[in-house]
Structure 1
Amino acid sequence: MTPAPLLAIDGLSMRFGAQPLFDGLDFSSGPGAVALVGPNGTGKSTLLTLLAGIATPQAGSIRIAGHALAGAQHQAKARLAYVPDESVAYEFMTGAEFLGMVDALRGTRDAPRAAPLLAGLGLAAHVDKRFGAMSLGTRKKFMLAAGLMGDAAVVLMDEPTNGIDAAAKAWLADLIRQQAASRLLLFSTHDQGLIDATDARLLRLG
């Protein structure tokens, strides 16, 4: 029996007022790296929020590993992780507290296994620092660590290399390339270097 795609989009439509972002979008994928590309304003971030279940499409359906995001939300969301472009942590939280909060919200115990991610992204010295005292790049790295820790079959990332240093970009590209054999990593980006380094397929909007 052929396994269900990790992500299946069927007839997805979304507009703001009279302006359509996408209409009747179809896409499916198993494991791999997929770069979501297109000019600004074509709906890349909006599409990621739809795929993450944060927003609801006006038409169409989304399935995560065979589970409908609309009808089996718990099962679908248990199989995905989302990395927003901007930090969603409270200013008073430390990096360690934020990862613990993500664990608690997911009902998992992945934070203790995040040490390789923290080391690779250069975060080991920042785990006890509060977000209010972190640089934007360090905040973004903690968002990446939170999304990538654990075993989510589908990882969605919005502009993952925005604001991070060259060493972290190179490490992240290597990680995506390694993990693409077993999970789907779908990321919006304007970073051609990341696309080239990960040998990502393109999903183009606009």
Structure 2
Amino acid sequence: MLELRAVAKTFGKGVKAVDGVSLRLEKGVVGLIGHNGAGKTTLMQMIATLTRPSSGQILWKGADIARTPDAIRRTLGYLPQDFGVYPNLSALEFMQYFAALKGVRDGARIRHLLELVNLHDQAHRPAASFSGGMRRRLGIAQALLNDPDILVVDEPTAGLDPEERMRFRNLLAEFGFGKLVIISTHIVSDVESIAGELAIMRSGRLVAHETPDAILARARGQVWSASVAALDYEALRGRVHVLQAQRQGERVALRIAHPELPCAGAHAAEPSLEEALMAQRYALQTEAEAEAA
């Protein structure tokens, strides 16, 4: 459905924001994971046809979207990381404006989407007065107006409270049945329970594309739980990768990423997806350091 072939984007002075990404995606929810500056937003902008690749191809149902952007725009829903609103429009007027741009003439759909994102009671309130979380919800509502076949959302839960985050994740998960949803985030919990695939970026490159179950399976036996004396903690931290530390009186409860038993009394723990990704990153880092030495 969506295929990226050696896609790269180079900005001034030869800075490669995206470096040779090849990826094939079908229906379902895909989490695009990476730290800030990994190239996620630039990649999403190219998929949304806001910017063109410096090299490579992005194909939507076989059509090169750099040459024929309308091939994907007709069926695209997009929520950018920085989503602005028009100061003089209410939420309802904002939705009506975008509906007109997208050729959507169904007023009932607008009302349904505002209800879906829990903004129906605020429909006549100026959108400019909304909180950051309310603007994100309005943003996803406009992205869904044309019932898109591909939904691209960049850092979707920024500014949302815990209840809103859960509602948002459930909405995206439901939409992912029969559609392609790409969620870009550096917060693993945003996609942990809903993504069927993860594409992991680092420094502009795609370093992994696999299922969460595969990542978790590989991390088993590399994540440990331990409790050590506070006096021993500093020495231990210097030779292992500490994922989490919690002071408990004279002792420190630890979660550790290490390829073998890190200390006496440690026992293997079931990793969370975030811990599994961190363990994978540390393993790659350790290998690179060993090769450099």
The normalised TM-score by structure 1 is: 0.90
Give 1:199's aligned residue.
195
Q: Give the counterpart of 1:13 among 5, 8, 11.
A: 8
Q: Whose relative contact order is higher, 1 or 2, with alpha carbons under 8 Å and at least 6 apart?
A: 1
AA in 1 matched with 2:180: L
Q: Return 5+ residue gaps in structure 2 as ranges.
A: 203-293
The letter of the residue matching 1:78 is: R
Question: Within 5 Å, which residues of 2 pair with 1:72-83?
Answer: 72-83=68-79
SS at match of 2:191: helix
Would you say the 8 A contact 1:120–1:171 is kept in 2? no
Write out aligned runs for 1:44-193 (5 A).
Answer: 44-109=40-105, 112-193=108-189
Q: Secondary structure at the match of 1:117?
A: helix
What SS does the corresponding residue of 2:21 show, helix, strand or coil?
strand
Contact 1:83 1:156 in 2 (8 A): yes
Deviation at 1:24, TM superposition (A): 1.6
105-114 or 61-70, larger mean C-alpha shift = 105-114
Following TM superposition, by how much is the alpha carbon of 1:161 offset from its aligned partner in structure 2, in angstroms? 0.7
Q: What is the percent sequence identity of the aligned residues?
A: 26
SS in 1 for 2:182: strand
Quote the offset at 1:162 in angstroms.
Answer: 0.6
Work out the CA distance in 2 between the residues paired with 1:35 and 1:111: 32
**Of the two, which has the highest radius of gyration?**
2
RMSD: 1.7
- Distance in 1 (CA, whole Å) between partners of 2:196 and 2:160 is 20
Shift of 1:110: 5.2
Which of 45-54 and 114-123 deviates more? 114-123
Maintained 8 Å contact 2:32/2:182:
yes
Segments of structure 1 that go 5 or more residues without pairing to the other structure are none
SS at match of 1:14: strand
Determine if contact 2:31/2:195 at 8 Å carries over to the other structure: no
One-letter amino acid of the structure 1 residue matched with residue 178 of structure 2: S
Q: Partners of 2:188 and 2:148 in 1: how far apart? A: 25
